[in-house]
Amino acid sequence: MTKLNIKVGDTVRVNAGDHKGQEGKVKTVIKVKNKAIVEGVNMISKHEKPSASNPQGGIVEKEAALHISNLSLVDKNGDTTRVGYRMEEGKKVRFGKKNNEVL
């Protein structure tokens, strides 16, 4: 398994594929498959059986997973950036390589 630089709650931009240019917040990260589910991006129609939480069932719109390699982290300025790690006051922090700012 590789080290993933994207975490839940990060804002990311899709940089490849059908949804190129779209932005959203990361809902979940699937570490085993190197994939992430991004809010409002890569929407699919899925048939769901009736259940207690969804008694009607039917066709549901939901997000599908995207590969981590197709996502870029967006910093506070709205620019895409790569992620680095460093120690600050005894704590390991993530920082954007473009502007050297802590994420």
Share of the chain above pLDDT 90, in %: 71
pLDDT of residue 38: 95
Query: What number is the average pLDDT over the span 22-48?
Result: 93
Query: What number is the average pLDDT over the span 27-40?
Result: 94
Domain with 88 in it: 11-51+58-96
pLDDT of residue 23: 94
**The total number of structural domains that make up the chain:** 1
Measuring CA to CA, which residue among 88, 101, 93, 87 is closest to residue 5? Answer: 93
Q: Is residue 3 domain-resident? A: no
Q: Are 63 and 45 in contact (CB under 8 A)?
A: no
Q: Is residue 2 domain-resident? A: no
pLDDT in tens, 12-24: 999 998 999 999 9
Q: Is residue 32 domain-resident? A: yes
Q: Is residue 1 domain-resident? A: no
- For residue 43, the domain's CATH number is 2.30.30.30
The whole-angstrom separation of Cα 80 and Cα 85 is 16
pLDDT of residue 103: 81
End-to-end CA separation in angstroms for the chain: 23
| DSSP secondary structure string for all residues of 38-96 | ETTSSEEEEEE---SS-SS-EEEEEEPPEEGGGEEEE-TTS-EE-EEEEEETTEEEEEE
The whole-angstrom separation of Cα 56 and Cα 80 is 41
Mean of per-residue pLDDT scores for the chain: 91
